[in-house]
Amino acid sequence: MTTMTARPLTTLEPKSSYLNLGCGKRFHPAWENLDFSSRTPGVRTYDLRKGIPFPEASFNVVYHSHVLEHLPKQVVPGFLRECHRVLRSGGVIRIVVPDLERIARLYLEALDKAVRQAKDAEFQYDWAIMEMYDQTVREFSGGEMMQFAQKAIPSQLAFLKTRLGGELDRIPPTAGKPSGVGVSPNPNSLGDRLRRRVLRVLVGSEGLAAYDHGRFRNSGEVHKWMYDRFSLAKALECAGFAEIKEVGPIESRVTNWSGFNLDTEPDGSTYKPDSLFMEAIRS
């Protein structure tokens, strides 16, 4: 997967002037919501690697949160040009990604504290290393980050809350539990069971493990690249956007933004506090 088609293979009729891409379980009914796969009413399924399936100038707002880092770096320019294409003149794009700069600063601060043997320094250092690398190199769902978070003692939870926000309270019991070298994204489906049986006969256990590993690495969970305020702004500029600005979780040029609770929880706290929030305009 190294390229993106110039136009989507399917054209849908927009139901709203607000578009949320790769929404997962975080969406609002007043928006047009798309995800790579969904069984949720109100969320359409579409492979965004094939483009954005709407006509040009369909939306006033395009939003995606923690999507860009899951796309290969070489695909991102085409994806952002698609976002530009479906926006109307003067429309707003809002992008949320993990903030590489903050992660790097966290690591450097934790390293200094660990060298000085400050209180909780080793815990914070171990987390900083894990947050920087695990999401890129992990080989099972949740990775070592979730294992680490589940073992945290009460005095360490406040620190993790500053990094994970409400996600810390929603970690599923199965997260961070490896099963073999790689984990198939849907090992219980009939098609997958049959496919794996055939592969075991054809290529043996090692070949099957490589298949599972490859499927997980391409399942969408692993980070393919990371961004900071400079690189994300540059990517937006190259895609044709103007008035590029870093914003806060409740700060936006989108009318009534905080009322949608896409970047915030109902209590007003930030959904993903480890994030970089950036907006731009299609001129």
Residues 233, 218 share a domain: no
DSSP state of 99: B
pLDDT in tens, 249-258: 999 999 999 9
- Beta strands at 87-98 and 275-281: parallel, antiparallel or unpaired: antiparallel
Is 219 a domain residue? Answer: yes
Which residues constitute the domain of residue 218? 180-224
Nearest partner of 70 among 177, 218, 229, judged by Cα: 218
pLDDT for res 178: 60
The answer to whether residue 26 is domain-embedded is yes
Cβ–Cβ < 8 Å for 281, 92: yes
Whether 201 and 130 share a structural domain: no
Count up the domains in the chain and report the number.
3
- Residue 9 within a domain: no
Q: Residue 260 is part of a domain; what is its CATH number?
A: 3.40.50.150
The distance from CA 178 to its chain's CA centroid, rounded to whole angstroms, is 21
185 in Cβ contact with 216 (< 8 Å): yes
Q: Do 208 and 164 lie in a common domain? A: no
At residue 1, the pLDDT reads 39
Judgement on whether residues 166 and 207 belong to the same structural domain of the protein: no
Give CA–CA dist 211/233, Å, rounded: 37
CA distances from 246 to 1, 68, 115, 169, 233 (A): 30, 16, 33, 28, 8
Q: Are residues 268 and 241 in the same domain?
A: yes
Q: Is residue 11 part of a domain?
A: no
Q: How far apart are CA 221 and CA 282, in angstroms?
A: 30
**Same-domain pairing of 27 and 80:** yes
User: With contact defined as beta carbons under 8 Å apart, do 162 and 273 qualify?
Assistant: yes
Contact 80, 51 (CB under 8 A): no
Give me the tens of pLDDT residue by residue for the chain, a chain 283 residues long.
345 655 666 788 899 999 999 999 999 999 999 999 888 889 999 999 899 999 999 999 999 999 999 999 999 999 999 999 999 999 999 999 999 999 999 999 999 999 999 888 999 999 999 999 999 999 888 899 998 998 898 889 999 999 999 888 887 666 656 654 444 445 557 777 788 888 888 888 888 888 888 888 888 899 999 999 999 999 999 999 999 999 999 999 999 999 999 999 999 999 999 999 999 999 9
Q: Quick one: which of 212, 149, 137, 202 has its CA closest to 175?
A: 149
* pLDDT (0 to 100) of residue 274: 94
Residue 96, beta-bridge partner list: 65, 277
Q: Within a domain: residue 7?
A: no
- pLDDT tens string 61-120: 999 999 999 999 999 999 999 999 999 999 999 999 999 999 999 999 999 999 999 888
Cα-Cα-Cα-Cα dihedral of 168, 250, 84, 80, to 10°? -30
Identify whether 265 is part of a domain: yes
**170 Cα distance to chain centroid:** 16
- Considering the domain architecture, whether residues 91 and 23 belong to the same structural domain is answered as yes
Predicted structure pTM score: 0.88
Contact 76, 88 (CB under 8 A): no
Look at residue 3 and tell me if it is in a domain. Answer: no
Distance CA 4, CA 75 (A): 6
